[in-house]
Structure 1
Amino acid sequence: MAVRYIPYYPDTLEGQARLDNFVRTSRMLFYKDNNQVKTRIQRGMPLYEVTESETVGANPDGNIVMHGECLSTCAYLKDKGIEIDLVYIDPPFASGADYAKKIYVRRNPLVQKAINEAEQQLDNSDMQEFEEKMYGDIWDKEHYLNWMYENLMAIKSVMSDTASIYVHLDYHIGHYVKILMDEIFGEENFRNEIVWCYYGPGSPGMRNFNRKHDTIFWYSKSEDYQFNDKDIRIPHDAKTLDNFKKGLDGSGFISENYDLDQNGKIPEDWWEMAIAGRFPKDGVKRVDYATEKPWALLERIINASSNEGMLVADFFGGSGVAAAVAHKLGRKFVHNDVNINSIQTARDRLVSAGAEFTMMEVRDGVRLFRNPVQTMEKLVRLIPGLNTETNLDKRFWAGSIYDSQKGKMPVYLPNLMDSSSRVMDKTEMNHIIREALPDLGNDVKQIVVYYIDVEDIEELRQFIHDENTQTDIAIELRDLKQVLDDVVIEDKATWEMSQVQVELFTKWQIKMLTFHSDYVMKKIEAFNLIGDQQHQKKLANNKKSTFKPIKISDEGLECIEWLSVDCTNAQKDAPWHSDAEVKIDKTGTVTVNGTKTRNLWDATIQSDDKPLRLKVRNICGDEVLFVL
């Protein structure tokens, strides 16, 4: 349950265009349920309990890496009086695409040791990998616009008076969001539509021009905004300089009042930058993250619209490029994402960059597995007896449960990808009663409505009693948190701890002996099963096919991605303090305490002081903590 609700701005700006007033031919372009959105905004942003999960360095600037949804994080910032000077967001594009992370099985340290002793070279061609869905960018237009509207309103509420916001989208939905931003920030505060152009091959058989650009909308909160033109200028090319000297007709340089700035020109609003981009010599290179944006793109935005010491926020932070660039340029940062893979990727990237920050967790009552889309997929297997193969309207029902006495009971699940559905209130219940129940027919006697959070459970039950008069269908309320919290199976490990001599120093060492992750093994089993089925099908059709199943050793150490020891805190629930950590790269080499090496992992982690707690992250991103 939310601790309380933090007010938004009461309404949008007067006199601005609204989507539901915009008419295209004879069709009203109208985002569904916008009255519900207004009701939620009037209620306020849900403020949940926020706990500190780790401290990295002294962090005098108050840098934050927050695991939670945009709305909840904005509520926290507003409650703490924290104002953002520059916002860059790269939200889902409503493209209908699923984004997956490649999971690489690490090399068994025992095998690596044998390879080293035989003085053989590592063969990277036999790296084993599979994919895991990170999030699904699957929205219908109306729900996406509702979701974006609430997020943008929340973000605006924590922006300083001189702040700017850059919203990164593409052709799927960008033009609609532009209208939303006119409505929220004001048409007069629109600064630029920036087109980021990049190169790449087209798909075979395509019958259109190659789509190779994204669009970034820049708005300021007011007419008093930051723009550092001197920090973003690019050198004039030789032809421009020559034309200026000659004063050629038609060159644009013959005016007596024109002064060619020797520092270069302000870039145009179209930017040609490679997707990989360039990184500073001491920067952290690209990581295996599907939606990562180039360093140079964020560098230009942050240089243009903020000064050193200002606070930069990315509420859909992804791989953490915005936070890393902000740190390198002397800015403070807030990195936020609902995806645990994002939090871990950004955390490791920032550690390698030498940043200091606090990692925080929004305790919204839902224990997500890794991200909302995976949880939604998992839920249908967690609810006992749920049958998804029904003819029920998928807009409302996840499936049905059969009861010997009550018959078929349709099941309603909140959409965890939509933060607004976290609270089951009278508005949403009315939506179910008025639109969903009448279509169920006479054979349905009861439905089950799962909820995450409610404002007042007794008030909601009274509302159901008063309003559910058109049918004889009973409504049973069930707490979804109980389903989620009861099924988490933690990873298991065994180890040996001892003191060892390293050159002239005595160190504490933990040597991992075994590691088992039920989740990782099930993912690998599913991968092997599908791969073998496809392999057999090709062979049956007389097609060439080879399939190499993923095999895990008895020790299971190749399923470990990262280890950390805490020599400071002994209590299990205390914030984590990483006194030493080892990250195993997909090739088997290790990054030790943020410094990349060429050494292969030998199944150990060492620290100066005696470890009190051990944390292990598997290759899918789950972390398990052991008190030593």
Structure 2
Amino acid sequence: MAIKYVPYYPDPVEGQAILDNFKRMLKYKGAGDVKRRLERGMPLYELKKVETVGKNPNGNMLIRGECISACAYLKEQGIEVDLIYIDPPFASGADYAKKVYIRRNPKVAEVIAQAGKELDIEELKTFEEKMYGDIWRKEDYLNWMYENLMAIKSVMSETASIFVHLDWHIGHYVKILMDEIFGEDKLINEIIWYYPDNFQGNVKGFATNHNNIFWYSKNETYISNKVIIPLDKPVKRDKRIWSKELGKLVSARNDDGTLIYEEFTEKKADDVWTIGQTSVTKSTSNEYMDYPTQKPEELLRRIIEASTNEGMLVADFFGGSGVTAAVANKLGRRFIHCDIGINSIQTTRDRLIADKAEFDIYEIKDGVSLYRNPTQTMEKIKKLIPGLKNEKSLGDFWAGAISDSKLGLVPVYIPNLMDSSSKLLDKAMMFRIMHEAIPDLPSNVKKAIIYYVDVDNLEEIQKFIDDEEDVIIEIELRDLKDILDDAVFEDYAEFKVSKVQESLIPEYIVEITNFQSDRVSRKIDEYNQKGYANTLITSDDEDIEDDDYEDYNEDGENVVPSKKKFTPILISETGLELIEYISLDCTNQDGVWHSDSEIKIDKLGYVIVNGTKTKNFWDGTIKCEKKPLRLKIRNICGDETIWNLSV
């Protein structure tokens, strides 16, 4: 439950077109709910520090949680941001997945090293894991984005700017919202980021090779530094001088009237950028982070240099691969990175470690951070609710229904964890459920179950339901956290801790002898099952003799192996190839994590030691100079587990 509610920025600005969302000039479903949430304020939750890196005198932060909750904390603490760059979901309708690589088992890596063989990337065993689905109803997206932009404006300094990075799917609608929130006169530029190295083949029409970035200021006064870029080829132009007599620029000439030319090798940047390209998302790039929505550092460098000075605070509330924080750090700016996904926090953390940055990592304790990302949490929730099945006849609002022997079909509502507006069950949400969702249910429905993650005031909500005479079906409220609390499965590890005294300074060695991860194993099992299923031919196929059939699939169809080949992912008995990262805390026995020694195993099996890349294969151990107190292991999917050590 939220500690309190922090006020948003005062009423939105009304532009010349009076684009006031509250007056419904821009009409879309649910806009009235936004007004009620804005009047209530931003939910403020406990913010827990989970790790500290270096002394961090500048207060740099990585925050796992939602934009609105992060802004509530910043505003409560009086922290103002000088530049915001956000690359939020594009409402593109696409699913984004992370490719998960099985690491080399130390024993196998040792053999490869002895043979002097280089690993081929094609040899690696991989499977994909869905990170998030960028699938929205337009109205839901606009409501969500409106509230996020209002929250962001609440923490902007008086001279701050905001850059919002989108594309053709929804950008034009968001620009209207920004006109309303910041004012039409606060639009500085619409920047076109053009990437000519992205080739599209079979398209009807012209290939889509650009994104849109909207640059708005909070006030008339803002930071705008001149950005000079080199020209591909020098350009000659006749020299211009100011003529007081004529009151205009005129061409300069010699005494004989010949034009005087000057050569230009650079110019001031305009609003069409071809920097960075998209090659950073390819494995050949030095910047490649294997993150699906990664943007090039050069793009953020131009934005940060153009709109901030050294020492200013830069924030990205949809931080992704951490490019904003990384570039801000390199340019001498302070930074805040925020994202709801743990993979984003881990990717950014490791990236900043390599850059020798100092920062603290926090988690917003809002009850939805059990799994690596909201998509996985939503999928897990549906499996944990006994008897829940999809029911298309109920519409998109309902997650499904339970069949009850006495009551019949019981619709079930689960808040969408991708949409912060539905996470909190308050009177506004309950009003919507009772007056929009329930009236659309079939007439024979007698009961509905409403799950919530957070609730404004449970007693008041229940009274609100009881006092509503128009709703004649039973409504049962259930806390979603009761289900999630029973679903935590930590990884298992066996290890040996030893002390070696080979010199004046002793060295401690922790050897991992066994590692098992139920979550990763389930993912691998799913991958193998799908792979085997794709190699089977069903009885619908022609030219198959009866004697060829060997089995039945789950639909009862005869199946026979096809000519397709499938190589399953097999894990060794020790399971060490499921480990991505190991850290030792020699400072704290509990509480905030301090990584005194860490290694990360890259996808080829090479070890990155304390942020420095090596060409050594992992040997199953990690070393440190001080006595280790705690051990942290991250599996290849991103789950982290901590063990206390005793020597």
d(CA) in 2 for partners of 1:22, 1:578: 49
Pair 527,482 (structure 1): closer, same or farther in 2 beyond 3 Å: same
Determine if the alignment matches structure 1 residue 373 to structure 2 residue 368.
no
1:402 to partner: Cα distance = 2.1
2:490 is matched by which residue type in structure 1? E
Conserved? CA contact 2:238–2:261, under 8 Å: no
1:429: which partner in 2? Answer: 430
2:90: which partner in 1? Answer: 93
1:430 is matched by which residue type in structure 2? F
Pair 418,410 (structure 1): closer, same or farther in 2 beyond 3 Å: same
2:123: which partner in 1? Answer: 126
Determine if the alignment matches structure 1 residue 220 to structure 2 residue 217.
yes
1:14 is matched by which residue type in structure 2? E
Pair 62,538 (structure 1): closer, same or farther in 2 beyond 3 Å: farther
d(CA) in 1 for partners of 2:511, 2:221: 58
Determine if the alignment matches structure 1 residue 576 to structure 2 residue 593.
yes
CA-to-partner distance for each residue in 1:300-323, whole Å, 9 max, x for gaps?
Answer: 000000000000000000000000
1:452 to partner: Cα distance = 1.1
CA-to-partner distance for each residue in 1:473-495, whole Å, 9 max, x for gaps?
Answer: 10000000111121011000001
> Mean Cα displacement is larger for which, 32-41 or 530-539?
530-539
- Give secondary structure in 2 for the equivalent of 1:496: strand
2:301 is matched by which residue type in structure 1? E
Pair 156,291 (structure 1): closer, same or farther in 2 beyond 3 Å: same
1:97 is matched by which residue type in structure 2? A
Pick aligned residue for 1:39 from 36, 44, 52: 36
Conserved? CA contact 2:234–2:264, under 8 Å: no
1:475: which partner in 2? Answer: 475
1:203 to partner: Cα distance = 4.3
1:608: which partner in 2? Answer: 625
d(CA) in 1 for partners of 2:358, 2:21: 47
1:355: which partner in 2? Answer: 357
- Give secondary structure in 2 for the equivalent of 1:576: coil
2:508: which partner in 1? Answer: 508
- State the TM-score, normalized to the length of structure 2: 0.90
Conserved? CA contact 1:284–1:352, under 8 Å: no
- State the TM-score, normalized to the length of structure 1: 0.92
1:263 to partner: Cα distance = 8.8
Structure 1 residue ranges without an equivalent (≥5)? none
CA-to-partner distance for each residue in 1:7-51, whole Å, 9 max, x for gaps?
Answer: 01231113454557899xxx9852211111011011100000001
1:98 is matched by which residue type in structure 2? D
1:502 to partner: Cα distance = 6.6
Determine if the alignment matches structure 1 residue 595 to structure 2 residue 612.
yes
1:191: which partner in 2? Answer: 188
Conserved? CA contact 2:21–2:31, under 8 Å: no
2:556: which partner in 1? Answer: none
2:292: which partner in 1? Answer: 290
Pick aligned residue for 1:73 from 62, 70, 73: 70
1:57: which partner in 2? Answer: 54
- Give secondary structure in 1 for the equivalent of 2:454: coil
Conserved? CA contact 1:195–1:215, under 8 Å: yes
d(CA) in 1 for partners of 2:538, 2:295: 38
- Give secondary structure in 2 for the equivalent of 1:335: strand
1:395 is matched by which residue type in structure 2? D
The structure with more radius of gyration: 2
> Mean Cα displacement is larger for which, 133-142 or 430-439?
430-439
> Mean Cα displacement is larger for which, 368-377 or 195-204?
195-204
CA-to-partner distance for each residue in 1:417-474, whole Å, 9 max, x for gaps?
Answer: 111111111111111111222232342221110011111111111110111x234310
1:494: which partner in 2? Answer: 494
1:376 to partner: Cα distance = 1.2
2:329: which partner in 1? Answer: 327
Conserved? CA contact 2:238–2:252, under 8 Å: no
d(CA) in 1 for partners of 2:505, 2:324: 39
1:368 to partner: Cα distance = 3.0
User: RMSD across aligned C-alpha pairs, in angstroms?
Assistant: 2.6
Conserved? CA contact 2:230–2:266, under 8 Å: yes
> In the TM superposition, what are the counterparts of 1:525-540 in structure 2 within 5 Å?
525-537=525-537
2:445: which partner in 1? Answer: 444
1:434 is matched by which residue type in structure 2? H
**What percentage of aligned pairs have identical amino acids?**
56
1:550: which partner in 2? Answer: 569
Conserved? CA contact 2:447–2:473, under 8 Å: yes
d(CA) in 2 for partners of 1:322, 1:122: 32
1:407 to partner: Cα distance = 2.7
d(CA) in 1 for partners of 2:69, 2:402: 33
Structure 2 residue ranges without an equivalent (≥5)? 242-247, 254-259, 544-561
Pair 391,459 (structure 1): closer, same or farther in 2 beyond 3 Å: same
1:94 to partner: Cα distance = 0.4
d(CA) in 1 for partners of 2:274, 2:452: 47
Conserved? CA contact 1:98–1:133, under 8 Å: yes
d(CA) in 2 for partners of 1:18, 1:77: 30
Conserved? CA contact 2:165–2:212, under 8 Å: yes
Conserved? CA contact 2:402–2:410, under 8 Å: yes
> In the TM superposition, what are the counterparts of 1:298-317 in structure 2 within 5 Å?
298-317=300-319
d(CA) in 2 for partners of 1:365, 1:139: 23
2:50 is matched by which residue type in structure 1? S
d(CA) in 1 for partners of 2:221, 2:203: 46
Conserved? CA contact 1:565–1:581, under 8 Å: yes
- Give secondary structure in 1 for the equivalent of 2:467: helix
1:549 to partner: Cα distance = 0.9
Determine if the alignment matches structure 1 residue 144 to structure 2 residue 158.
no
> In the TM superposition, what are the counterparts of 1:138-177 in structure 2 within 5 Å?
138-177=135-174
2:585: which partner in 1? Answer: 566
d(CA) in 1 for partners of 2:18, 2:262: 42
1:409 to partner: Cα distance = 1.2
1:238 to partner: Cα distance = 5.0
1:268 to partner: Cα distance = 1.2
- Give secondary structure in 1 for the equivalent of 2:268: coil
Conserved? CA contact 2:280–2:294, under 8 Å: no
d(CA) in 2 for partners of 1:596, 1:276: 24
Conserved? CA contact 2:20–2:180, under 8 Å: no
Pair 494,202 (structure 1): closer, same or farther in 2 beyond 3 Å: same
> In the TM superposition, what are the counterparts of 1:204-215 in structure 2 within 5 Å?
204-215=201-212
1:498 to partner: Cα distance = 0.6
d(CA) in 2 for partners of 1:514, 1:125: 27
> Mean Cα displacement is larger for which, 434-443 or 174-183?
434-443
> In the TM superposition, what are the counterparts of 1:103-114 in structure 2 within 5 Å?
103-114=100-111
Conserved? CA contact 2:289–2:321, under 8 Å: yes
1:310 is matched by which residue type in structure 2? M
1:591 is matched by which residue type in structure 2? I
Conserved? CA contact 1:538–1:544, under 8 Å: no
CA-to-partner distance for each residue in 1:523-555, whole Å, 9 max, x for gaps?
Answer: 011011111111224997897522111111111
> In the TM superposition, what are the counterparts of 1:412-427 in structure 2 within 5 Å?
412-427=413-428
Conserved? CA contact 2:368–2:417, under 8 Å: no
1:48: which partner in 2? Answer: 45
Conserved? CA contact 1:243–1:253, under 8 Å: no
CA-to-partner distance for each residue in 1:267-289, whole Å, 9 max, x for gaps?
Answer: 1100012434689xxx9722000
Conserved? CA contact 1:10–1:42, under 8 Å: no
CA-to-partner distance for each residue in 1:561-610, whole Å, 9 max, x for gaps?
Answer: 00000001112xx0000000000000000110011111111111100101
Determine if the alignment matches structure 1 residue 627 to structure 2 residue 613.
no
1:259 to partner: Cα distance = 12
1:202 to partner: Cα distance = 4.2
- Give secondary structure in 2 for the equivalent of 1:167: strand
Conserved? CA contact 2:276–2:299, under 8 Å: no
